[in-house]
Amino acid sequence: MSQLAPSKFEYLCREVRARTGLVLGPEKAYLVESRLGPLARRSGFSAIEPLVDAMMRGDKAILTDVCEALVTHETFFFRDKTPFELFENVVAPALKTARAGRTLKIWCAAASSGQEPYSLAMLLDEAGGPKAEILATDMSGAVLEKAKAALYSQFEVQRGLAIQRLVKHFDPAGDAWRVKAHLRQMVRFEQSNLLDDFSRLGRMDVIFCRNVLIYFDIETKTQILNRLAAQLADDGYLILGASETVIGLCDALRPVEGHRGLYARAPGKARAAA
């Protein structure tokens, strides 16, 4: 049960959902307590309730901090393996042939602290192409700053990285490791929320949007998937997380047969507004 008065908990849930799409309910009270307690202390409040009171008084900085604290930023290099195997063995070879030497446009949505886009950069580097520009977006400015720095602790590089890749693609930096410069140059970071208009990003050959739709309600998932489809090149690919699907939500996309988590544009479907 939340320590917040019901009216304040409802206010918190409503504001967070409006700004992030994250659906919170009474069953997520434990998440609110565990993540906002430390934030309250760091921000000089005695408890969570005064923190929420500050939000209710219109403190936009606190509201931003609260939203960022409640959104999950869990990630690591080559997380879940299968999406990267799909990219390496199916997607990149197909697009390398179709694009005839042109630069691939890849978008990692909800990229968190950068491990996903840098993992893709490593794969492209190891394969000798195709040439690509990787856009990595996240709603959190704090995690994007970490991603731009490309500096990871020993613990972080041990999660998902074989020692051969660590030595090949990173430079030692004191007790940490930094992604090599030529890989950093492949990735551009930009603060962006999946609830916002992203038509300005242009057409993408590949979109990674993994392990984020699970936090949204069905209506929001449907809207986001249709807008992602609108950004996808006619022969492009969307890669979702293992527990996510377009089925029953977006008829502008179809599963690629034999490859779980991989989707392409459905033939003959008009593009929705992004």
Token code pair at residue 234 = 């006619």
Say whether pLDDT at 158 is over 70.
Answer: yes
Which residues belong to CATH 1.10.155 in the chain? Answer: 6-70
So what's the pLDDT on residue 270? 62
**Residue 124 forms beta bridges with which residues?**
none
d(CA 205, CA 92): 10
The confidence band for 159, taking pLDDT boundaries of 50, 70 and 90, is very high
Token code pair at residue 135 = 């856009």
177-212: per-residue pLDDT in tens? 999 999 999 999 999 999 988 889 999 999 999 999
pTM of the shown model: 0.88
* Average pLDDT value over all residues in the chain: 92
Question: Which one is the CATH code of 6-70: 1.10.155, 1.10.357, 1.10.8, 3.10.450?
Answer: 1.10.155
**What percent of the chain clears pLDDT 70, i.e. is strictly above it?**
97
The confidence band for 101, taking pLDDT boundaries of 50, 70 and 90, is confident
Say whether pLDDT at 124 is over 90.
Answer: yes
Which residues belong to CATH 3.40.50.150 in the chain? Answer: 82-265
250-273: per-residue pLDDT in tens? 999 999 999 999 999 998 766 665
Residues 6+ apart with CB under 8 A from 99: 130, 205
Give first-to-last CA distance, the chain, whole Å. 39
What average pLDDT does this structure show over 37-61? Answer: 91
What average pLDDT does this structure show over 20-49? Answer: 88
Are the C-beta atoms of 66 and 35 separated by less than 8 Å?
no
Q: What is the CATH number of domain 82-265?
A: 3.40.50.150
Query: Residue 180, Cα to own-chain centre: how many angstroms?
Result: 22
